[in-house]
Amino acid sequence: MAKEKPSINTVNFNAAQLMEFDACTRCGECVKYCPTYDARDKSQDIEPRDKILRWRSFMNRSFGLKARLFGPDKIPPEEIKKFTDDLYNCTTCGMCGTVCPAGINTIELWESTRANLVKHGTGPYGKQSLFPKLIEEGHNPYLKQQKDRLAWMTPDIKIADKSDIAYFIGCTAGYNQQVLGVSTARILNKLNVPFMALGEDEWCCGSALIRTGQQHINDTPKKAAIHNVEALKAKGAKRVIFACAGCFRAAKIDWPRAYGKALPFEAIHMSQFLAEQLEAGKIKWEKSLDKTVTYHDPCHLGRHVGVFEEPRKVIKSMPGIKLVEMKRNRKEQRCCGAGGGVKAGIPDLAMGVAKGRVNDAKETGAEALISTCPFCRRNLLDGRDELKLDMSVDDLVVLTANLMGLSTDVKPPAPGAPKESISDLFRTQTIPPKPVEPKKEAPKTEAPKAETPKAETPKIEKK
């Protein structure tokens, strides 16, 4: 009699990760810091410790000593599906791994487990399943056209055809947060730094697919990484500037893996570049701003890559600006709630985490919340609006451009454009409301006419 096959497998896990499932001591330190656990639906079991212990149980039931002797236990499909859903209620921020006494690399562990479950057929979650088709066919997750990659450019911005410095704009800044694109470009122009951009040849960095465990589907992230690296190399790039923390994280960690070797250029975040220029005495502040601000460390820029001090160095040098820190900052910051596919797949959870972070900022008494990631900024704006707080939410690059005396205005926004497309701190532009489409009236249908009763022919009785 053939033995029953295990309900799960070990695909996508390396030996170290399989050992990490056994390394959890159940101490619960991770639970105290998990941002999604704080904002969860109380019926969910999404604390990091629980997820590790549940998968460990699956492994023992499938491959443990008892399973080897008597055959694996059958794990009900609904149990695996419930685990999958709980696993995706996570932004992969990495806070749990940061505080883990056993040193478990939870970021990599969650991504590998998600990839395993996508192959199993129970992942990903909700709208996240649209990412592969959108990114493979359209090279961005927003259903936008490649020809519009540089549509945000204004006539004053100069982009070189070839340069050893490139600006990798990213999908979010290119299509939805034009204020970040124009601010970055104008700063580089002001500093006399010739830079080039890929334009239509720029493809999505692939981060959304990797974070949601869909990296193996047609190898789309790998193809995108190789394409972007080769395109930048062909244009002579020696340094590539990223103003998006998610794209920067992908370039620093994911692209070299896909490329199979070290990148032929240096990847640098715009906050690092600004700190360099400041130290070299090249940034001249032309304006002052009397504001108290607090800084949110994006997970991808901070915990994942280790850039913490450069953004603070730039903020502290700004005339009139006072920087106050949130209780949870640097390695121990609270996630904005948008990462790991949560913004697309589980918007209610993303909102709950965002409100927690905005409340952290509120406690400092800051008038503005500054970040260095367009995706963080969007979700924090949503959290601010939900809480109805009088607090600006903007990007460090936008703040820098303004105090350097530069305009942060974008092309006149289209009616109903995303709120994050313009500056929230310097409200020199407004977004026209989207025209209200007239309600279509249902076609009038005439009531059926009542039939006239037929007169009966009187019966004549024969005598």
- Considering the domain boundaries, does residue 2 fall inside one? no
Pair 272, 147 in one domain: yes
- DSSP for 341-365? THHHH-HHHHHHHHHHHHHHHHHTT
**Per-residue b or e along 249-271, where b marks 16 or more CB atoms closer than 10 Å to that residue's CB:** bbbbbbbeebbeeebebebbbbb
**Domain assignment of residue 343, given as a range:** 291-421
Interatomic CA distance for residues 332 and 297, integer angstroms? 9
Count the domains in the chain. Answer: 3
Question: 88 and 45 share a domain?
Answer: yes
Residue 109 sits in the same domain as residue 158: no
Q: Looking at the structure, tell me whether residues 133 and 269 fall in a common domain.
A: yes
Which of 248, 279, 310 terminates a domain? The answer is 279
36-74 as b/e: b if 16+ CB within 10 A: bbebbeeeeebbbbbbbebbbbbbbbbbeeebeeeebbe
Helix segments in 71-219, DSSP class H: 77-88, 95-99, 106-120, 131-138, 171-175, 178-190, 207-211
The pTM score is: 0.87
Helix (H) or strand (E) holding 258: helix 255-259
Cβ atoms within 10 A of the Cβ of 306, count? 11
**Residue 307 belongs to domain with CATH number:** 3.40.50.1860
In a domain, residue 445? The reply is: no
Handedness of CA 389, 395, 398, 399 (dihedral sign): positive
Q: Are 165 and 206 in the same domain?
A: yes
- For 350-387, the pLDDT digits (tens) are 999 999 999 999 999 999 999 999 999 999 999 999 99
Residues 214 and 179 in one domain: yes
Phi/psi of residue 196, each to 5°? Answer: -120, 165
- Cα–Cα distance, 119 to 103 (Å, whole number): 27
**Is 222 domain-assigned?**
yes
Average pLDDT over residues 283-311: 95
Instruction: Give the CA dihedral 444, 445, 447, 449, nearest 10 degrees.
Output: 120
Look at residues 421, 440, 455 and tell me which one is the last residue of a structural domain: 421
Question: Which amino acid is it at 110?
Answer: W
Distance, in Å, from the CA atom of 114 to the CA atom of 334, rounded to the nearest integer, reads 22
Q: Are 296 and 413 part of one and the same domain?
A: yes
pLDDT for 68 equals 82
Report the pLDDT averaged over residues 454-458.
Answer: 50
Least confidently predicted of 100-104, 300-304, 427-431:
427-431
One domain, residues 295 and 407: yes
Q: What is the pLDDT of residues 183-242, one digit of tens each?
A: 999 999 999 999 999 999 999 999 999 999 998 888 999 999 999 999 999 999 999 999
Pair 329, 373 in one domain? yes
Q: Please check the confidence at residue 257 and state whether its pLDDT lies above 80.
A: yes
Quick one: 318 and 416 in the same domain?
yes
pLDDT, greater one: 396 or 449: 396
Those residues with Cβ within 8 angstroms of residue 12's Cβ, 6 or more apart along the chain or in another chain = 112, 113, 115, 116, 119
Q: Which pLDDT band, with edges at 50, 70 and 90, does 444 fall under?
A: low
Q: Does 115 share its domain with 150?
A: no
Q: What's the pLDDT tens digit per position in 420-442?
A: 888 888 888 888 888 877 776 66
User: What does the alpha-carbon distance between residue 196 and residue 177 come to, in Å, rounded to a whole number?
Assistant: 19
CATH number at residue 113: 1.10.1060
Cβ atoms of residues 166 and 240 within 8 Å: yes
Examine the pLDDT at 326 and tell me if it is beyond 50: yes
Would 208 be classed as within a structural domain? Answer: yes
415 assigned to some structural domain: yes
Looking at residues 153-181, what average pLDDT do you find? 93
Q: Is the pLDDT of residue 170 over 60?
A: yes
28 lies in some domain:
yes
**Mean pLDDT for the stretch of residues 380-408:** 94
Task: State residue 463's pLDDT score.
Answer: 40
Residues 6 or more apart whose Cβ sits within 8 Å of residue 279: none
CA gyration radius for the chain? Answer: 27
> 123, 153, 178: which is the final residue of a domain?
123
Structure tokens at 307: 């850039």
pLDDT of residue 456: 53
Q: Are residues 173 and 228 in the same domain?
A: yes
